[in-house]
């Protein structure tokens, strides 16, 4: 990549109504890069609408970066000469996700997200891994030198698939869950010490773990050790939870009062660095016993009918912008994808959390396992930063998921239904079921995926 030249971004899933618009706005606000964005999606109509939307955003009076958006008919056309590839796809449909999340409720299993672990996360992986294997092969053939940013869940298994198919790929996964914990620590400083932190990036954290099950064992602000302060903060708010504004957690299904995070700190002495909705699904600690228990812990079960309503609202919003009825809002998304691209293109350097193969940055984890740690990003380089080792009790919890995710991956790649059932039964949310109930739930859920698995014996 040559500093100052026009760049090309291939967006796989270019009909996206969420991540794509955020990227378009963030690109528009950055004057140091410009170029073209090729939008590829299996829904060509959605990609064409995003072509119009992206070009409107680029033409906005407040836009500093100038980009040309083009919907393309094939993934090969999107990838040709790409400097960056962004993958943000919905693997399947929201109807599929509705089955992922809500069918297990008949067996007493409640899921707060259902896209990473648990029965829903496993079945989503079964759909997603073959899709990512195909995308990885296309990248290998048409854009082998591009940097690849993945936003799709289950993130660890998506990135794992990219490296399995194309070991030389330059790929990583981006997730904003750690950002929320940095903001919580900033809010803690205001609450406990009256210190106003201007930007969450001023909170420096050491990140260890896997996506959505990440941990922080060191945190500081301008040389101030935050762990002792967090211990006092947790002691004060562990029962009622902490809300920067009253009833934050009630007004948005994506918010919580951090009670799960606080409980985990009291158990293990580390800061759990994902949101409560994700953390609860990795553990058999009773946070998801039933909807009433979830309410007491002050987080939410994110129903898929709500996601469908959100999708429809975004569609209407896009239509209104394209028709001129509404104005597009140009404000930063808070994501770091564009800043990472800037650093990779040679515009400075940065440290941020990413998901990439373990090269020894987490001690005691298998080489090549997809882990989430900090990395130093600079011109055409992403170097993981040594994070150290998790305490034994937390290490065992995380390693259980590392092993089970690998078992899911191998089962899907081999199209082995029996191996997949074993991994399914070992998940903490499923392990409480009898073998017969677990097998029955598995059979129903896998049967619903028959259209995605034509070569499987289902």
124: Cβ contacts below 8 Å, ≥ 6 apart: 91, 92, 96, 97, 100, 114, 115, 153, 154
pLDDT tens, 50-106? 999 999 999 999 999 999 999 999 999 999 999 999 999 999 999 999 999 999 999
Integer angstrom CA distances of residue 131 from 90, 124, 136, 368, 453: 10, 11, 9, 21, 11
Catalytic residues: 176
- Measured from the Cβ of residue 369, the count of other Cβ atoms closer than 10 Å reads 17
Helix axes 94-102, 304-323, angle to 10 degrees: 160
Nearest to 405 by CA among 282, 290, 312: 282
First to last CA, the chain: 47
pTM of the model: 0.96
Contact 441, 453 (CB under 8 A): no
Q: What is the pLDDT of residue 2?
A: 42
Q: What is the pLDDT of residue 250?
A: 85
Give per-residue pLDDT as tens, 215-234. 999 999 999 999 999 999 99
Beta carbons of 3 and 346 less than 8 angstroms apart: yes
Please report how many Cα atoms fall inside a 13 Å half-sphere around the Cα of residue 128, on the Cβ side. Answer: 33
How far is it, in rounded angstroms, from Cα 284 to Cα 432?
Answer: 9
d(CA 256, CA 261): 10
**Low-confidence residues of the chain, pLDDT below 70?**
1-4, 246-247
Cis status, amide bond into 154, omega within 30 of 0 = yes
């Amino acid at each position: 990549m040559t500093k100052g030249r026009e760049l090309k971004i291939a967006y796989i899933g270019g009909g996206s109504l969420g991540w794509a618009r955020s990227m378009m706005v963030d690109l528009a606000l950055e004057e140091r890069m410009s170029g073209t964005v090729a939008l590829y999606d299996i829904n060509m109509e959605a990609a064409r609408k995003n072509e119009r939307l992206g070009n409107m955003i680029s033409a906005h009076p407040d836009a500093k970066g100038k980009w040309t958006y083009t919907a393309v008919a094939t993934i090969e056309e999107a990838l040709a000469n790409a400097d960056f590839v962004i993958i943000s796809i919905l693997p399947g449909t929201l109807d599929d996700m509705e089955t992922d999340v809500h069918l297990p409720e008949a067996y007493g299993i409640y899921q707060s997200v259902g896209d990473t672990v648990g029965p829903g996360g496993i079945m989503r992986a079964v759909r997603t891994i073959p899709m990512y294997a195909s995308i990885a092969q296309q990248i290998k053939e048409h854009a082998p030198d591009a940097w690849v940013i993945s936003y799709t869940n289950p993130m660890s298994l998506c990135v794992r698939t990219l490296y399995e198919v194309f070991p030389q790929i330059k790929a990583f996964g981006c997730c904003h869950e750690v950002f929320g914990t940095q903001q919580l620590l900033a809010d803690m400083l205001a609450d406990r010490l009256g210190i106003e932190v201007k930007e969450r990036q001023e909170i420096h954290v050491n990140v260890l773990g896997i996506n959505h099950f990440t941990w922080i064992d060191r945190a500081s602000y301008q040389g101030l050790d935050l762990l002792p302060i967090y211990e006092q903060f947790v002691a004060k708010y562990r029962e009622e939870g902490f809300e920067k504004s009253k009833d934050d957690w009630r007004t948005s299904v994506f918010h919580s009062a951090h009670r799960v995070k606080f409980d985990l700190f009291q158990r293990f002495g580390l800061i759990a660095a994902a949101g409560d909705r994700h953390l609860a699904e990795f553990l058999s600690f009773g946070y998801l016993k039933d909807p009433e228990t979830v309410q007491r812990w002050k987080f939410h079960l994110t129903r898929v009918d709500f996601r469908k309503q959100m999708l429809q609202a975004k569609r209407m919003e896009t239509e209104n912008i394209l028709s001129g009825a509404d104005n597009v809002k140009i404000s930063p998304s808070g994501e770091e994808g564009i800043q990472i691209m800037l650093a990779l293109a040679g515009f400075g350097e940065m440290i941020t959390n990413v998901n990439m193969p373990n090269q020894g940055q987490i001690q005691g984890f298998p080489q090549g396992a997809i882990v989430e740690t900090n990395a130093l990003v600079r011109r055409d380089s992403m170097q993981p930063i040594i994070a150290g080792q998790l305490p034994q009790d937390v290490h065992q919890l995380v390693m259980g998921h590392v092993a089970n995710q690998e078992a899911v991956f191998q089962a899907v790649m081999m199209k082995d239904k029996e191996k997949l059932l074993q991994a399914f039964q070992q998940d903490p949310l499923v392990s409480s079921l009898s073998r017969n109930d677990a097998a029955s739930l598995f059979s129903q859920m896998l049967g619903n995926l028959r259209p995605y698995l034509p070569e499987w014996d289902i």
